[in-house]
Structure 1
Amino acid sequence: MTSLLEVNDLRLSYPGKGFRARPAEILHGVSLTVAEGETLGVVGESGSGKTTIGRALLGLAEPSSGSIRFDGRDITHVGAKERRRLARDIQVIFQDPYTSLNPSLTIGDILTEPLIAQGTPAAAARTRVADLLERVGLPEDAAQRLPREFSGGQRQRVAIARALAPEPRLIVCDEPVSALDLSTQTRVLDLLIDIQRRTGVAYLFISHDLAVVRHISHRVAVLYRGDLVETGPAGPVTTAPEHPYTQKLVLASPVADPVEQERRRTERRKLASNAH
């Protein structure tokens, strides 16, 4: 498959806290790719650097070294004007559907505003909004309502519709279901999968939850303290991992079977004792 996104030897540091504090390096030479129409799941615990990769891709964090190429173009240090152009092709779905939507705007305004800003005529924008609402499973009259009138799952569907509005080629999904209950998580993940099948959009799917990543991803990249420790097809990485840290993530995933859950606890204890 053709690579749409190429991250090569990416390093990123944040300023240290306090006088004479050394910069804290968050990413230690991470390299990964996302193909056209593919989902790459990036998984790791808090502080692993997974969200920092997304921030660097979106221009919200400045890499110390390395490169980010999108569709063959180096976008590592592009200016504000080029970043606005890239917004047509690269969109984002944030973690919290409650804070990512402007509470004072109707859903129609939230979805129409970026389209009109990109030059879409008002009538065409309204038609596009109706299509987007249908695509994400919301009624057409949702356009006249405010975000507070919707559940968390419905708000995340609005956020997905907003990301789809400019017909992007890549969407950065930053923990997009972690604030939702389990049944709603599954419905939103299935919606994202269905949208990908119909549109060919690629996802960089960031999550701490290995079960969620396994559900949606074609390939998985595992980050541990800023290092890429394992990558490969989702099946092998999430069921028969090679790296001890990935094994720990798999064993930490909850299962309904109490016998299997106890086996995982035993294996976790063995891993912990071997580490010491």
Structure 2
Amino acid sequence: MTDLLTVDDLRLRYPGRGLRAARPEVLRGVSLTIGRGETLGLVGESGSGKTTLGRAVLGLATPTGGRIHFEGQDITHVTGRRRRPLAKDIQVIFQDPYSSLNPAMQIADILAEPLLAQDTTSADARRTVGRLLDQVGLPSDAAQRYPREFSGGQRQRVAIARALALKPKLIVCDEPVSALDLTTQARVVNLLIEIQRETGVAYLFITHDLHVVRHISHRIAVMFHGELVETGTAASVTTDPQHAYTQSLLLAAPIADPDGQRERRLLRKQAREAGHTFAR
């Protein structure tokens, strides 16, 4: 599989102010790859650095060391006008589908905006909007409605459609289903899988939930305190984790079986007593 994205020894430290001039590194030498058409799940609890890594790939956070290559091109410090052509190939789906959509704009305008920014004609943009709505399973009359008129799951479908508008090669999915109920989560994840099969798009799927990421990912990378502590196939990481932190994350995920859940609580207690106080 040809690597689409390569992150090599990436480091990032946010600048401090006043007494906090020397802030700790958020990313500490992170290295990973994503192949064309592949989903890499990036897992870790809040504060682990996983969202910062996604922001660095998107050009929203500036690395202080290391390199990011996309299709062989060094994009580590590409900003401003030089970044604009990359927007066609690298898109994002944010966690909150409502705050990421302009409430004053109709869905048609929201979806047409990135197309028009890339000099697509109005007529072509309208045709593309209709195709995108169909692709994410929304009716054609959704184009004339506003984000507030949709459920959370439907709004996330709009956000997915917007990310797909420019036919990207990579989409950074930053906790895209964590704000949704379990049933809607499953529908959105299945939609992303279906779209990947149809288009060959690659995903960097950022989440704290090992169960969700197991369903969608080909490989999983586990992040703890700005470092990758385990990487492997989705099956191996979620069924036979090698690192104590990954084991703790797996034990922290709730399951429907009461007896199994009690056993997990016991195992977590034993882990805490052994000094493995990773996941909350």
Q: Compute the TM-score of the two structures, normalised by the length of structure 2.
A: 0.97
Q: Hey, what's the Cα distance between the residues in 1 that align with 2:100 and 2:239? A: 34
The residue aligned with 1:96 is 96
Q: TM-score, structure 1 length as denominator?
A: 0.98
RMSD: 1.0
Give the Cα–Cα distance (whole angstroms) in 1 for the partners of residues 145 and 58 of structure 2.
29
Could you tell me which runs of 5 or more consecutive residues in structure 2 were left unpaired when the two chains were aligned: none
Distance 2:28 2:121 in 1: 45
Question: Could you give the per-residue CA deviations for residues 191-232 of structure 1, whole angstroms, max 9, x where no partner exists?
Answer: 000000000000000001111111111100000011100000
Equivalent runs, 1:40-55 vs 2, <5 Å: 40-55=40-55
Q: SS of 2:88's equivalent? A: coil
Between the aligned partners of 2:211 and 2:34, the Cα distance in structure 1 is 20
Counterpart in the other structure of 1:125: 125
- Correspondence 1:19-168 to 2 at 5 A: 19=19, 21-168=21-168
Distance in 1 (CA, whole Å) between partners of 2:259 and 2:18 is: 49
How far off is 1:158 after superposition?
0.2
Q: Distance in 1 between matches of 2:189 and 2:203?
A: 12
Shift of 1:16: 2.9
Question: Which residue in the other structure is 2:200 paired with?
Answer: 200
**Aligned letter for 2:169?**
R
Between stretches 241-250 and 210-219, larger displacement belongs to: 210-219
2:136 maps to amino acid: V
Report how far residue 250 of structure 1 moved: 0.5
Using the TM superposition, give the Cα deviation of residue 181 of structure 1 relative to its aligned residue in structure 2, in angstroms: 0.6
What SS class does the counterpart of residue 19 from structure 1 fall into?
A: helix
Quick one: which amino acid aligns to residue 116 of structure 1?
A: L
Range with greater deviation from structure 2 (109-118 or 186-195): 109-118
Which residue is 1:6 aligned to? 6
Q: What percent identity do the matched residue pairs reach?
A: 68
- Structure 1 partner of 2:189: 189
SS of 1:92's equivalent in the other structure is strand
Whole-Å Cα distance in 2 between the matches of residues 65 and 94 of structure 1?
Answer: 25
Amino acid corresponding to residue 57 of structure 1 in structure 2: V
Distance in 1 between the 2:245 and 2:18 partners? 32
The count of aligned residue pairs is 276
In the alignment, the residues of structure 1 paired with residue 153 and residue 110 of structure 2 have an alpha-carbon distance, to the nearest angstrom, of: 17
* 2:12 counterpart SS class: strand
- Comparing 166-175 with 265-274, which one deviates more in the overlay? 265-274
1:242-253 to 2 correspondences below 5 Å: 242-253=242-253
Cα deviation, residue 266, structure 1:
1.2
Corresponding residue of 1:264: 264
Read off the aligned partner of 1:227 and give its amino acid letter: E
Contact 1:43/1:223, CA 8 A, preserved across alignment: yes
> Over residues 142-181 of structure 1, what are the superposed CA-to-partner deviations in whole Å (9 max), with x where a residue is unaligned?
0000111000000000000000000000000000001111
The one-letter code of the counterpart of 2:35 is A
Determine the C-alpha separation between the residues in 2 that align with 1:166 and 1:149: 25
Following superposition of structure 1 onto structure 2, how do residues 225-244 of structure 1 map, counting pairs within 5 Å?
Answer: 225-244=225-244
Query: What is the Cα deviation at residue 18 of structure 1?
Result: 3.4
| Structure 1 residue 256 displacement after superposition | 0.7
How far does the alpha carbon of each residue in 1:84-106 deviate from its partner, in whole angstroms, 9 at most, with x for none? 10000000000001100000100
SS at match of 1:171: strand
* Conserved 8 A contact 1:8-1:31: yes
Contact kept, 8 Å, 1:15 with 1:24, in 2: the verdict is no
Aligned amino acid, residue 253 of structure 1: A
Q: Distance in 2 between matches of 1:26 and 1:183?
A: 33
Q: CA deviation at 1:21?
A: 3.2
> Secondary structure at 1:25's aligned position in 2?
coil
Structure 1 residue 210 and structure 2 residue 210: aligned?
A: yes
Closer, same or farther in 2 for the Cα pair 1:230/1:144, shift >3 Å?
same
AA at the equivalent of 2:84: R
> CA separation in 2, counterparts of 1:96 and 1:210?
20
